[in-house]
């Protein structure tokens, strides 16, 4: 504060007075130089003296102006610092007033409130009756739960779904097992009559049970045995014949009425064969006059094949023109693929690829459309 007062009262006014005196002195110096230059005989000397006075006057005035300017700038800095101190004081006062107002407001709010009675009890209370721990029961792991999820390979024991495509499995070469019979052939004139042994009803395996029409062949075991000896082969171009190859049965599904003696009515048949009955007495008459059974009517295979729905299998047709002559196998793509390198193939799902070489690193070489 004293420094500010000294600047305002002493240094700045003295600087102003020095400038005024310099102005008056410069005026007198200018008049002297002018008269001296006119009256002097040596003009060059008068000119040099005038230059010296001019340089000295300019230096004196510049120094006085610099001193006065420094004093003014110092005065402005002191006043700016005082303004900052005053601003901080005002802010402190305003914060004090705000704090006082908040205290008064809280006091007024506290008048409107009531005290809360809190009971000092334990926050966590143990239950009166403890729960008995549940006994662990081990459940076996069922590894077949997710067999039908995703695109995994199906096991061979699962029956394949009947779709339009034909599998490449070879047809069975063995005949289906013929049902057990107590006696083969037919009754002739010289055949003695005796009671037939009760037999267990024939059962057909599930692999050979393809249609309900085949149930008619179970009622005539003698006829089924004679028909099973005629092998039949079917073309793989139709869906019906393809499913017949997979079933492995070459028996005829059309029931044929053949007059064969029916076994007597008996109770539940046991698994073990019953002992044969005693021989009949001699006084039982023999059916010598019974005519032989008529021959079986010829089986019309054309009618049965006509009932099968024909369709064309795209995978069973011949190879296209772009297919290579020699290839290892023909595969079908199950997903889309875009080539990353120049020596790879790009194909869509369902595209047919002919594999021509299998490399040791696991990559195959092939041709596709």
pLDDT digits (tens, 9 = 90+) for 134-159: 888 999 999 988 888 887 656 555 55
- Those residues whose C-beta lies under 8 Å from the C-beta of residue 225, and which sit 6 or more positions away, are 178, 181, 184
Task: Give the per-residue pLDDT at 121.
Answer: 74
pLDDT digits (tens, 9 = 90+) for 262-305: 444 444 434 444 555 555 444 444 444 455 666 665 555 444 44
Q: What percent of the chain has pLDDT over 90?
A: 20
Q: Give the count of alpha carbons within 13 A of 90, CB side only.
A: 6
| Least confident residue range of 27-31, 162-166, 354-358 | 162-166
CB 196 within 8 A of CB 237: no
Task: Give the per-residue pLDDT at 180.
Answer: 45
In this predicted structure, the answer to whether residue 61 has a pLDDT above a threshold of 80 is yes
Mean pLDDT, to the nearest integer, of 124-128?
80
Sheet holding 329-332, edge to edge: 329-332, 352-358, 364-368
Task: Give the per-residue pLDDT at 95.
Answer: 97
Q: Which two tokens stand for residue 332?
A: 């079908």
Distance in angstroms (rounded) separating the CA atoms of residues 360 and 187 = 68
Predicted TM-score (pTM) of the model is 0.28
Kind and range of the H or E run holding 21:
helix 12-39
User: Sorting pLDDT into bands at 50, 70 and 90, what band is 43?
Assistant: confident
Closest residue by Cα to residue 254 from 214, 202, 226: 214
Main-chain dihedrals φ then ψ at residue 217, nearest 5 degrees: -80, -10
**Residue 221 CB burial class (10 angstroms; 0-12, 13-18, ≥19):** buried
Q: Which residue has the higher pLDDT, 5 or 90?
A: 90
DSSP conformational letter for 208? G
């Amino acid at each position: 504060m004293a420094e500010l007062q000294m600047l305002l009262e002493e240094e700045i006014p003295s600087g102003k007075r020095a400038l005024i005196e310099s102005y008056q002195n410069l005026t007198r110096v200018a008049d002297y130089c002018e008269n001296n230059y006119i009256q002097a005989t040596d003009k060059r000397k008068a000119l040099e003296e005038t230059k010296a006075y001019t340089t000295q006057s300019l230096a004196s005035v510049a120094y006085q102006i610099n001193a006065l300017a420094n004093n003014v700038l110092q005065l402005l800095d002191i006043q700016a610092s005082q303004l900052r101190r005053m601003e901080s004081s005002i802010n402190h006062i305003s914060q004090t007033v705000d704090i006082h107002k908040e205290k008064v407001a809280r006091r007024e709010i506290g008048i409107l409130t009531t005290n809360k009675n809190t009971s000092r009890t334990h926050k966590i209370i143990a239950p009166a009756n403890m729960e008995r721990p549940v006994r662990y029961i081990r459940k076996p792991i069922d590894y077949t739960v997710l067999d039908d999820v995703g695109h995994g390979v199906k096991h061979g024991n699962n029956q394949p779904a009947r779709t339009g495509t034909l599998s490449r499995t070879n047809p069975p070469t063995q005949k289906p097992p013929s049902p057990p019979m107590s006696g083969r052939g037919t009754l002739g004139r010289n055949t003695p009559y005796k009671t037939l042994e009760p037999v267990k009803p024939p059962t057909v395996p599930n692999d050979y049970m393809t249609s309900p029409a085949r149930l008619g062949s179970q009622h005539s075991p003698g006829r089924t045995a004679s028909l099973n000896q005629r092998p039949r082969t079917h073309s793989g171009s139709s869906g019906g014949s393809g499913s017949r190859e997979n079933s492995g049965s070459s028996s005829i599904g059309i029931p044929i009425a053949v007059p064969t003696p029916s076994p007597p009515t008996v109770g539940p048949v046991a698994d073990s064969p019953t002992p044969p009955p005693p021989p009949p007495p001699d006084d039982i008459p023999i059916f010598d006059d019974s005519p032989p059974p008529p021959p079986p009517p010829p089986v019309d295979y054309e009618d049965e094949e006509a009932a099968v729905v024909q369709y064309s299998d795209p995978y069973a047709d011949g190879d296209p023109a772009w297919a290579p002559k020699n290839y290892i196998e023909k595969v079908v793509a199950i997903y889309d693929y875009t080539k990353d390198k120049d020596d790879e193939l790009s194909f869509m799902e369902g595209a047919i690829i002919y594999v021509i070489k299998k490399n040791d690193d696991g990559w195959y070489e092939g041709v596709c459309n």
